[in-house]
Amino acid sequence: MKQCSKSENVLIIDSDYEEADGFIKGVREVTGEEWQVALHENNKIYGWRRYVRFFTVALQTVLSGKKYEGKTVLCWQQFYGIAIAFFQRMFHMKKRYKLVIMTFIYKEKRGLAGKLFYRFVRYAVTSRYVDKIILTTQSEKTMYQEIFGVEDDLFDFARCGAIAYEPEIYDDEQLREKNYIFSTGRSNRDYGFLIDCIQNTSYQLVIACDTLKTRSGDNIQILDNVFGDDMLRYMRNARAVVITLADDTIASGQLVLLHAMNMGVPVIITRSHGVTDDYVTDHYNGLVIDKTKESLLKALDIIFDDDKLHDRLSANGQKEFEKNYTYYAMGKTIGGILKDM
């Protein structure tokens, strides 16, 4: 963790500085204040060790509270902020700084573990230590108000951002000649639906997901070891990116959507109450479909047969990304929220 000087705002993030750099530049520009970035390696740790790390970092932050006296602690990953508020409430600590939680998502879990998880999150977010929770879709606000019994003004909204890449460096003519559709991501995906729709058709489907059980067919390929630049190469050279969501009330799929827009690849996405409302304008920067086989196959027919529409969706997606969805743009939006607090 980078050490922050006394009484400076801090962004806590488990990533690398490339991800935080543009974001924090936007935050600084709008707030007019100095910010330090505390970097961690949680994104390279998986399973229970990652959650242990969330708690240890949170406890370190709580015990160093005087360092942030009168300032703001901004937590990119929600579990940092939740754990910080949990410890502060449990220890009845003095409130020294504003605590803001980003990228908040809560999904109900079953059984005893689910009940304990709910109580843990509710104990934290209903405390006086949390000043603001920033959601990535507007529709979630009412849902979380009802789930946790909190006031409307606890929440605010900021669209996701992503690293801006140069799409051309991922061009691969051999891949492009395969004329395939591509899908990737773990959270809230309905790959079963996607596979059932595509199998026994003429379309070629490539899915990059390391948690998906192999169900490959003659026209379906499952890749469990494609990440980072390799994933972007497969995405860049696809005819389209397809995102099929399992639960249409949960915010998910935004990062894949934004990467596809940056790469200049049209997106087909199943309708949701958040992502498609806040990020996609149908037939402008993507195709929004009902989750039916008929709707998906019709959208694919359009993408493969109408070159003008295909190219227009690609160009509009890239334009929207550059204007609204870089980390710098996201930082400016959240900087405005922080400035108004």
At 339, give phi and psi (nearest 5°): -65, -30
**DSSP classification of residue 38:** E
331 close to 74: Cβ distance less than 8 angstroms: no
Answer whether residue 274 shows pLDDT above 90. Answer: no
* pLDDT over threshold 60, residue 44: no
Which sequence spans correspond to the domains of the chain? 9-161+327-339, 167-324
Backbone torsion region of residue 108, taken as left when φ is above 0, otherwise alpha when ψ lies between -120 and 50, otherwise beta: beta
316, 282 in Cβ contact below 8 A?
A: no
Position 248 confidence tier, pLDDT thresholds 50, 70, 90: confident
pLDDT of 72 > 60? The answer is yes
Residue 283: what pLDDT? Answer: 96
Burial class (CB in 10 A: 0-12, 13-18, 19+), 46: exposed
Model confidence band, residue 212 (pLDDT cutoffs 50, 70, 90): confident
Rg of the chain, C-alpha, whole Å: 21
Whether 9-161+327-339 and 167-324 share one fold: the answer is yes
pLDDT of residue 1: 39
The predicted model gives 181-201 an average pLDDT of 94
Reply yes or no on whether the pLDDT at 4 is more than 70. no
- In 188-336, at which residue ranges do the beta strands (DSSP E only) sit? 204-208, 220-223, 240-243, 267-270, 287-289
One-letter amino acid at 334 equals I
Question: How far lies 7's CA from each of 63, 67, 72, 126, 132, in Å?
Answer: 14, 5, 9, 26, 20
Q: Mean pLDDT throughout 305-332?
A: 96
Q: What is the CATH number of domain 167-324?
A: 3.40.50.2000
Q: Output the pLDDT for position 276.
A: 87
- CATH code for the part of the protein at 9-161+327-339: 3.40.50
Dihedral, CA of residue 195, residue 196, residue 199 and residue 200, to nearest 10: -170
- pLDDT tens per residue across span 285-318: 999 999 999 999 999 999 999 999 999 999 999 9
Please say whether the beta carbons of 55 and 82 come within 8 A. Answer: no
Kindly tell me if the per-residue pLDDT of 45 is higher than 60. Answer: no
5: pLDDT strictly greater than 50:
no
